[in-house]
Amino acid sequence: MTKHKIIYDTDPGIDDAIALVFQARHPQIELVGITSVFGNADIDTTTANALYLASRFAPGVPVVRGAAAPLRHPPPAPIPHIHGKDGLGEISRTGHVSQQEDGRAAHRFIVEMVRANPGEITLLAVGPLTNLALALREDPDIARLVREVVVMGGAFGVGGELGNATPAAEANMHGDPDAADIVFGAAWKVSIVGLDVTHETVMTTAFLAALRDSAGDAGRFVWDVSRFYERFHADDGMSRGIYAHDYSAAAFVVARELYTTRSGPVRVLTDGIAAGLTVQKPASMRAPAPDWDTRPPCDACIGVDAAAVLDLFTRTLRG
């Protein structure tokens, strides 16, 4: 069985934590590193959360501290109403944190791991893309040595939505639009799993309760950590459930056949009221668009078999 060697670039974050549990449990995934980034909380908090999650679910996987702020924009405002003051839904934590930070910077870790494993590493990025942009800046040649980049982020208007952080921007794109535009413009294979499909993939209260009762410690953790997130979704007008944002990108790595994608170069607006907006020029479009035409195509998800994606989560957690 070919394993996917993943560096998980993350800002944990409740849905980030849920995606990590899935990766730790999936037989075709080998987590080779967890790199933290600011986003759902500040970098001290997301790094501490990554250490906690690794200690509990992925012991021995290196945890590496990443960027504290975007490349150019000021750091985003805190969002404790979404992920809790501690970034992990304010659960009472069990077990002790056995892991310590790897001493390297996240972008350097990415460069070193990619160089040591040419053609093998998948970068699964579910926060602002600052670490990946810094890695490219340090060593642009890694683009041809990475197996694939899978990003949770963006929105292409398929379901009528363009953003969740602003009317025009998904949160991870809004977190560092310059970095996102760099990452989508590099010469590596990029797949983008955005709101067009994550808003179709809802873990309902009943789904989460069934996991709690049937998937051991992992299932109980997913239930506990999702309580805060579910209250936020309810306050936001959604009934009884959570969007499976970051898990969807992890699912894409091992089950891309469950997604429909559209190919074409993607730009990210970096300034103004629509900063963070993702715009693809579909390969089928013939009109010239110089700001897109010189760039490599990305695969953007435009459809999903959500029931199968959710079933994959249940089967994986139950083992």
- In the complex with ligand BDR, the residue whose CB is nearer, 40 or 270, is 40
Build a one-symbol-per-residue string for 114-153: x at contacts with ligand BDR by CB under 6 A, - elsewhere: ------------xx------------------------x-
Please confirm, yes or no, whether 245 is among the known catalytic residues.
Answer: yes
Rule CB under 6 A: say whether 218 interacts with ligand BDR: no
Contact present, 9 and 124 (Cβ < 8 Å): yes
Single out the segment in contact with ligand BDR by CB under 6 A; choices: 12-20, 23-31, 131-139, 233-241. 12-20
Q: Does 170 bind ligand BDR (CB under 6 A)?
A: yes
Taking the least distance from each CB to Ca ion, the nearer of 245 and 281 is: 245
How far apart, in whole angstroms, are the C-alpha atoms of residue 244 and residue 152? 10
Q: Which is nearer to ligand BDR, 126 or 258 (CB)?
A: 126
Q: Which stretch binds ligand BDR (CB under 6 A): 9-17, 228-236, 286-294, 309-317?
A: 9-17
In whole angstroms, the minimum distance from the beta carbon of 285 to ligand BDR comes to 26
Choices 69-77, 168-176, 203-211, 271-279; region in contact with ligand BDR by CB under 6 A: 168-176
Residue (58 or 129) nearer to ligand BDR, CB: 129
* Binding site residues, Ca ion, CB under 5 A: 11, 13, 16, 126-127, 246
Q: Which of 83, 107, 174, 245 is catalytic?
A: 245
Q: In DSSP terms, which residues pair with 123 in a beta bridge?
A: 7, 149
For the bound state, the minimum distance from the C-beta of residue 44 to ligand BDR, rounded and expressed in Å, comes to 17
Out of 6, 13, 178, 226, name the contact with ligand BDR by CB under 6 A: 13
Select from 40, 47, 49, 316 the one that contacts ligand BDR (CB under 6 A).
40
Residues 6+ apart with CB under 8 A from 85: none
Rounded to an integer, what distance in angstroms lies between the CA atom of residue 183 and that of residue 231? 33
Exactly one of 172, 278, 280, 316 binds ligand BDR (CB under 6 A); that residue is 172
CA distance 76 to 10: 16
The 10 Å Cβ neighbour count of residue 212 is 17
Applying CB under 6 A, the residues found at the interface with ligand BDR are 13, 15-16, 40, 126-127, 152, 164, 170-172, 245-246
Task: Tell me which residues are annotated as active site.
Answer: 245
